[in-house]
A and B are shown apart, each in its own frame.
Chain A
Amino acid sequence: QKEVEQNSGPLSVPEGAIASLNCTYSDRGSQSFFWYRQYSGKSPELIMFIYSNGDKEDGRFTAQLNKASQYVSLLIRDSQPSDSATYLCAVTDDYKLSFGAGTTVTVRA
């Protein structure tokens, strides 16, 4: 079983809608959780991280963490065409940073 699993996608949402991305992880020792965005042909870039249970908001993005369920999600509100990208969930323990396979999001104008 892969350490980090993401909903497979692709996910298509209309402009202005909410995009919801999900991620589960297998290692209960995981300490911090990250969402990266990767445009086609480019390197991943950090959107936000979360390490405590609950919600964390940054602009149009909200990360949610539930350690008991080993689940982390990302909501993108008021989706824009510029949000069209692959979103990568990542988790870290003391030693390494592991990624999920990514979910590709397309925002329809």
Chain B
Amino acid sequence: TAGITQAPTSQILAAGRSMTLRCTQDMRHNAMYWYRQDLGLGLRLIHYSNTAGTTGKGEVPDGYSVSRANTDDFPLTLASAVPSQTSVYFCASSDSPGVNTEAFFGQGTRLTVV
């Protein structure tokens, strides 16, 4: 079982360019999340989706957009990358948003904006 898959695993991106980080899960989970992880700051929530067709803003949404056209996919787009978006990005999913449900994480995407 693949679980949750992110692509690419790493990327170097020129500032000002756009990029979409892909996330796909095969567990039919309703909730999906995008986090960025920076040293000393832990995992910070960028955007989330509780079910297909709905999205919400997390702690650090500026400069990022998401869509949830179907259950399986939750892409994260950087419209015009800036160096401060250099980070490790994790996608996660859970069966439902909330009580007692484990979140499963993808392997992460290491993004460097130069």
The answer on A and B forming one complex is: yes
Task: Point out the residues of chain A lying under 8 angstroms from B42, CB to CB.
Answer: 6, 88, 99-102
List residues 42-66 of chain A with CB under 8 A from any CB of chain B.
Answer: 43-46, 49, 51
Task: Point out the residues of chain A lying under 8 angstroms from B107, CB to CB.
Answer: 43
A-B pairs under 8 A by CB, number: 65
Task: Point out the residues of chain A lying under 8 angstroms from B40, CB to CB.
Answer: 101
Task: Point out the residues of chain A lying under 8 angstroms from B92, CB to CB.
Answer: 97
Stretch in B16-24, B77-85, B93-101 touching the partner: B93-101
Is A43 within 8 A of B97, CB to CB? no
Is B100 within 8 A of A32, CB to CB? yes
> Interface of A with B (CB < 8 Å)?
3, 6, 31-32, 34, 43-46, 49, 51, 88, 90, 92-102
